[in-house]
Amino acid sequence: MTEKKQILGLNRFEKSDSAALDDGLVNQITRRQNTQGASSVLFYQQPIEMVSARGVWMYDAAGNRYLDMYNNVPGVGHCHPRVVEAMSVQAGMLNTNTRYLFPVLERYSETLLATFPAPLANVVFTCTGSESNDIALRIARMVTGRQGIIVTESAYHGNTTAVMEVSPSGLKRQSLPPYVRTVPAPDANTLRPGQQVAEVFADAVQSAMDSLNAEGFGCAALLVDTIFSSDGVYADPAGFLSLAVARVRAGGGLFIADEVQPGFGRTGTHYWCFQRHELVPDIVTLGKPMGNGFPMAGVITRPALLDRFSQETEYFNTFGGNPVSAAVGLAVLQVIREEELMSNAERCGHYLRAGLHNLANQYPAISDVRGAGLFNAVEFRQPDSKKPDTKLTQQVINELKGEGILIGAAGAYGNSLKIRPPLCFSIDNADFFIDKLARVMSRCARR
């Protein structure tokens, strides 16, 4: 049986890789490990010292340039001058908590909420996606009076105590608590003839709900990353999620859409990935690209749910929604609109997938190419056995680094490249990537 992988540990540097490194690098790694201890994780067999970044490119201490296909945090591009300026101007004027009035926050909140369908009309500001999901769980449990949560098998939703309990791909030894159920990722490749993704996924959710009810926990919410990123990236067929959500609601539960990964226009056709599925969630959680690197995040919900939450508990966040985050968030939204980054994601994503499909026709080890906009995956399986090829995926990732491309992996077995460049990615960048991947495949396929 192929071994399942933890999403946070994929492509990590191991001490045993040190022998091949020069003394200077070993010294830097040692200093990191001495201070940050066992929790410190570095990417790559040969970690990189980064010094600067701009647009889709990152630069290391040796002057090497890398195309960033990995990082969906700098959504509008690394160090976007407009965002940097908004941040520094506001930081030089006022930065304090939300217990004072400052119009930049109202402007930002109204602009952000205008991207959501009714009745999602309230926002709670936080600093991380984990905090946002933590609050979403609290709201769902308070409103429904139930404890049970349903997530996908390789979900990752963050790092607080409550959120780790619903993040199976982040757990090492611990098992999930009895009030959490997992369902398989909505993978069209695993269907038997005649089966549909929507039905299979909804049936799994229904069984999970029945089981939670049978054990007296009830189902408070279905919580999914709407692009199923850590599960391996599953976007199609558009609309498949709505059946499962309807079942959860029929059973009295809520639907929490985790948009931390795919939000802010990345999937091309819509601002939010849940819109691909023609549904309106009860709660939406945001993070990563919201501040283009500035730590800011949020929860969007219906006023009635927030009223209920606020009757039970006070909410205060020292940094969430501060003037600098509002100025930064507003600049990010303006850049997405003015530089037409959403339509760029759609156009370049389409082009990129076409090139990847061409490669898949040449290399049988590429078993699937899938995604939406600029959130895509290339999956590797052994051509004969169809087993997930984690080893080849790791080789490709490390060889791509040598070709000047940064990329990560996803999926239960870590056998898919996870492709999410900044949204200012161009057709030229796509050609560059496809050319480099073709070179790497020709070398790896020979071995």
Ligand X SMILES: Cc1ncc(COP(=O)(O)O)c(C=O)c1O
Token pair, residue 445, equals 């396929």
Binding segment for ligand X among 17-25, 157-165, 210-218, 274-282 (CB under 6 A)?
157-165
Task: Starting at the earlier edge strand, list the strands of the sheet with 50-54.
Answer: 50-54, 57-60, 65-68, 405-406
Instruction: Find the part of the chain contacting ligand X (CB under 6 A) among 21-29, 115-123, 154-162, 411-419.
Output: 154-162
Binding residue for ligand X, selected from 130, 267, 367, 415, defined by CB under 6 A: 130
Residue 232 C-beta: closest distance to ligand X, Å = 13
Residue 282: closest CA among 105, 107, 112, 116: 116
The candidate with the shortest Cα–Cα distance to 186, out of 174, 197, 175, 173, is 197
Residues 66 and 405: their CA atoms lie apart, in Å, by 5
CB of 59 to ligand X, least distance (A): 24
Euclidean distance between CA atoms 280 and 245, whole angstroms: 9
# residues near ligand X by CB under 6 A: 15
Residue with Cβ nearer ligand X (6 or 429): 6
Question: Which 25-84 positions form the footprint of ligand X (CB under 6 A)?
Answer: none
Stretch that binds ligand X, among 113-121, 150-158, 178-186, 370-378 (CB under 6 A): 150-158
The only residue of 55, 74, 75, 158 in contact with ligand X, by rule CB under 6 A: 158
* Only segment of 152-160, 247-255, 343-351, 370-378 that touches ligand X (CB under 6 A): 152-160
Place of tokens 């109202």: 106
Strands 283-286, 254-258: pairing is parallel
Give me the residues paired with residue 371 across strands: 376
Hey, which residues between 159 and 178 contact ligand X (CB under 6 A)?
159
Specify whether the backbone of 268 is left (phi greater than 0), alpha (psi in -120 to 50) or beta.
left
Residue 187 or 258: which CB sits closer to ligand X? 258
User: Which residue shows structure tokens 């919580």?
Assistant: 223
Among 76, 239, 256, CA closest to 162: 256
Comparison of 260 and 366: residue with beta carbon closer to ligand X:
260
Q: Which is nearer to ligand X, 130 or 344 (CB)?
A: 130
Give the residues across from 219 on adjacent strands: 148
Q: Judged by CB under 6 A, does residue 222 bind ligand X?
A: no
Q: How many residues does the chain have?
A: 447
Q: How far is the CB of 353 from ligand X (least distance, A)?
A: 22
Q: Residue of minimal CB distance from ligand X?
A: 129
Is residue 156 within the footprint of ligand X (CB under 6 A)? Answer: yes
Closer residue to ligand X (CB): 41 or 93:
41
Helical segments of 126-226, H only: 129-144, 161-164, 197-214
Nearer to ligand X, 201 or 363 (CB): 201
- Regarding 157 and contact with ligand X (CB under 6 A), the answer is yes
Report residue 53: phi and psi, to 5°: -160, 155
Give the C-alpha separation, 308 to 147, whole Å: 16
Q: Between residues 136 and 397, which has the closer beta carbon with respect to ligand X?
A: 136
- Amino acid of residue 373: G
Q: By CB neighbour count within 10 A (0-12 exposed, 13-18 middle, 19+ buried), where does 255 fall? A: buried
Identify the residue among 6, 71, 133, 344 touching ligand X (CB under 6 A).
Answer: 133
User: 418 with 412: CB under 8 angstroms?
Assistant: no
DSSP state of 177: P
Min dist CB 418 to ligand X, Å, is 10
End-to-end CA distance of the chain: 23
Nearer to ligand X, 282 or 389 (CB): 282
Q: Minimum distance from CB of 128 to ligand X (Å)?
A: 3
Binding mask 90-129 for ligand X (x = CB under 6 A): --------------------------------------xx
Partners of 58 in beta bridges: 53, 66
Measured CA to CA, the distance from residue 331 to residue 81 in angstroms comes to: 10
Closest distance to ligand X from the beta carbon of 95 (Å): 20
Q: C-beta of 196: minimal distance to ligand X in Å? A: 25
Binding to ligand X (CB under 6 A) within 286-345 occurs at: 287, 297
Which residue's CB is nearer to ligand X, number 235 or number 444? Answer: 235
Relative to beta strand 219-225, strand 148-152 is parallel
User: Residues 242-271: x/- map of binding to ligand X (CB under 6 A)?
Assistant: ----------------x-xx----------
Which parts of this chain interact with ligand X (CB under 6 A)?
128-130, 133, 156-159, 225, 229, 258, 260-261, 287, 297
